[in-house]
Structure 1
Amino acid sequence: MIRIISLDMDGTLVNSRFVDKVWMEGMPRLYAESTGLDLPAAREYVIGEYMKIGSDHLEWYDLKFWIDKFGLSIGKEELLELYEDEIEVYPEVEEVLELLSENYELVVTSNAAREFIDIELDGLQGYFREVFSATSDFREVKKSPLLYGAICAHLDARPFEVLHIGDHYSYDYESALDAGLDALFLDRRGERQGPEVIGDLREAVELIGGCA
Structure 2
Amino acid sequence: MLDWSQIDTVLLDMDGTLLDLHYDNHFWLEHLPQRYAVANGLSVPEAQALVNQMTDELRGTLDWYCLRYWSDALKLDVPAIYREVEDRIALRPHTDRFLRSLRAMNKRALLVTNAHPDGLNHKLEVTGIDQWLDAIISSHDLGHAKESSLFWHSLQERQPFDPERTLFVDDNLHVLGAARDYGIAHLLCIRQPDSKNPAREITEFPAIHDFDEILGAR
TM over 0.5: yes
Q: Would the aligned equivalents of 1:5 and 1:106 in 2 still touch at CA under 8 Å?
A: yes
Write out aligned runs for 1:86-125 (5 A): 86-102=88-104, 103-122=106-125, 123-125=128-130
Contact in 2 for aligned 1:14/1:90 (Cα 8 Å): yes
1:32 is matched by which residue type in structure 2? A
Aligned mate of 2:62, from 47, 58, 61: 58
Structure 1 runs, 4 residues or longer, greater than 4 Å off? none
Please give the per-residue CA displacement for 1:109-139, whole angstroms capped at 9, x wherever unaligned: 12222222222233111111111122x1122
Counterpart Cα distance in 2 of 1:77 and 1:194? 34
Match of 2:81 in 1: 79
Counterpart residue identity of residue 24, structure 1: L
Question: Cα gap change, 1:39/1:17 in structure 2, threshold over 3 Å: closer, same or farther?
Answer: same
Describe the SS at the equivalent of 1:88.
coil
Q: What letter matches 1:59 in structure 2? A: D
Q: Is the 8 A contact 1:146 1:179 kept in 2?
A: no
Query: Aligned partners of 1:169 and 1:202: how far apart in 2?
Result: 21
In structure 1, give the amino acid aligned to 2:67.
L
2:144 corresponds to which residue? 140
In 2, the alpha carbon distance for the partners of 1:142 and 1:193 equals: 21
**Unmatched runs of 5 consecutive residues or more in structure 2:** 1-5, 192-198
Give unpaired runs (5+ residues) of structure 1.
Answer: none
Q: TM-score, length-normalised on structure 2? A: 0.80
The one of 168, 175, 178 aligned to 1:171? 175
Give the percent of matched residue pairs that are identical in Structure 1 and Structure 2.
Answer: 26
Distance 1:5 1:159 in 2: 10
Compared CA separation, residues 105 and 84, structure 1 to 2 (3 A): same
The number of aligned residues is: 202
Equivalent residue for 1:131?
136
Which of the numbers 203, 208, 218 marks the counterpart of 1:198?
208
Structure 2: distance between partners of 1:154 and 1:166: 20
Q: What secondary structure does 1:121 align onto? A: helix
Q: Give the TM-score taking structure 1 as reference length.
A: 0.82
